[in-house]
Amino acid sequence: MNILPNQQTAIDDQTLREITLDSFRGLGYRADLFDLQTFPASSCPWHWHNEVEVFFMEQGSLIYRTPNRMLRFDKGDVGFINADILHMTKAVGSSPSMQQYHIFLPQMLACPLNSTIETRYLEPLSKNNSADLVRFSAHTTQAKDMRGYMNRAYALYTQKPFGFEIRLRNAVSELWLLLLENMPETTKVSVSHDLERVRSMVHYIETNYAEKISLEDIAGAACIGKGEGARCFKRMLHMTPFTFLISYRIDRAKEMLSHSGETVTNISLSCGFPSQNYFCKVFREKTGMTPLEYHISIRKSPYCQAPII
């Protein structure tokens, strides 16, 4: 279980499912404000959750990726991620990347279940396969109105005045209607089989990245051949398994450079690189600086206090 820095959620290592640790406080809803720069490697790894996620950028920029698309979100932009969608996010640049996000079960808006509200207003969006990841530009009227409802919901959730649960549901209901009115048309996209395969392969990489692993090993985790494993990875994540492996190793190296006093040699071996020279070459290609230069830059950053190597 990988506990995230916000201390409210964790990612299950085997299924990549994000689990809420506070049980939604009985609301089926959670809101938070955080800076992605405080996360290891300034990113949140691949994961999914049963709830929908709506957010807007208060400061800075970040990149969201799903198996079907990649979008950048800048200050004021609003984003929507549907339930059960595999996704990851990474901060852009080194400035604070402040995000206000809201995660909730659509069913919190319907009472009783299977009511007209659920079938007419909730399912057309929550079951819209094309609405995996959607961006609303900061300067649009829709984004402005959405930010207004989110700010109201956030204030109610954090301050908890009398009757806040009812007012919170009202604010989220208005937000949902805006989302529903501005979503793309439904398209039928079947990705569930590939999704399970990729989850298995990603889990294998994240568990064994420090070892010498082959394409056959990665594909074998999903019980498929290396050719189909490579094609499946490409369809879902738009990269090869080895590109993902190298990126994951570099992210773990960044984390060690940020928070440990290990030498560059030890870090390279711990992250699965066969030699320090190869590690330094790949690290420079990916980041534009050497591991030591990255370590020095992190020590000067207000977000990390790394020991001296």
- pLDDT given for residue 4 in this prediction: 59
Of the residues 181, 201, 235, the one at which a domain ends: 181
Task: Residue 24: give its domain's CATH number.
Answer: 2.60.120.280
Quick one: 162 and 14 in the same domain? yes
Same domain membership, residue 80 and residue 39: yes
Number of neighbouring beta carbons within 10 Å of residue 95: 12
Note whether residue 309 is domain-resident.
Answer: no
> By residue range, what is the domain housing residue 290?
192-299
305 in any annotated domain: no
88 and 12 inside one domain: yes
Which is nearest to 93 in space by CA: 132, 71, 62, 117? 62
Shared-domain flag, residues 131 and 199: no
Mean pLDDT, to the nearest integer, of 33-59?
90
**Integer Cα distance of 214 and 95 in angstroms:** 37
57 and 138 in a single domain? The answer is: yes
Q: Is residue 187 one of the residues assigned to a domain?
A: no
Considering the domain architecture, whether residues 105 and 6 belong to the same structural domain is answered as: yes
Res 190 pLDDT > 50: no
Within a 10 A sphere around the Cβ of 75, how many other Cβ atoms?
13
Give a yes or no: residue 7 inside a domain.
yes
Query: What are the two backbone dihedrals, phi and then psi, of residue 44, each rounded to the nearest 5 degrees?
Result: -115, 125
Stretch 283-307: mean pLDDT, rounded? 74
Percent of the chain whose pLDDT exceeds 90: 46
Whole-number pLDDT of residue 124: 85
What is the predicted pLDDT for the residue at 7?
A: 55
Residues 173, 196: one domain?
no
Q: 199 with 53, same domain?
A: no
Residue 10 counted as domain residue = yes
| pLDDT digits 0-9 by tens, 210-249 | 999 999 999 999 999 999 999 888 877 778 899 989 988 9
Do 18 and 116 lie in one domain? The reply is yes
Task: Indicate whether 205 pLDDT > 80.
Answer: yes
The tens digit of pLDDT for each residue in 102-141 reads 999 988 887 665 578 888 888 888 888 778 899 999 999 9
**Beta bridge partner(s), residue 35:** 98
> What's the CA gap between 16 and 217, in Å, rounded?
19
Residue 299: the pLDDT is 66
Among candidate residues 181, 209, 236, the one where a domain is terminated: 181
Residue 162 pLDDT: 95
Q: Are residues 18 and 146 in the same domain?
A: yes
Domain boundary among 181, 204, 221: 181
Work out the pLDDT band at 12, boundaries 50, 70, 90: confident
- pLDDT (average), residues 152-177: 95
Q: Average pLDDT in the 22-31 region?
A: 71
pLDDT at 21: 61
Bridge partners for 29 per DSSP: 104
Model confidence at 297, in pLDDT bands (50, 70, 90)?
Answer: confident
Residue 209, domain CATH: 1.10.10.60
The pLDDT tens digits of the residues spanning 167-179 come to 999 999 999 999 9
User: Is residue 131 in some structural domain?
Assistant: yes
Question: What mean pLDDT do residues 250-264 have?
Answer: 85
CB within 8 Å of 4: residues ≥ 6 apart: 10, 11, 39, 44
How much is the pLDDT for 114? 56
Residues 163 and 95 in one domain: yes
Q: Is residue 230 part of a domain?
A: yes
Please give the single-letter amino acid code of residue 162: F
On whether residue 186 sits in a domain, the answer given is: no
**How many domains, the chain?**
2
Coil, strand or helix: which one is 266? Answer: helix
Asked if residue 224 and residue 165 are part of one domain, the reply reads no
Given this model, what pLDDT does residue 23 score?
Answer: 44
* pLDDT value at residue 208: 93
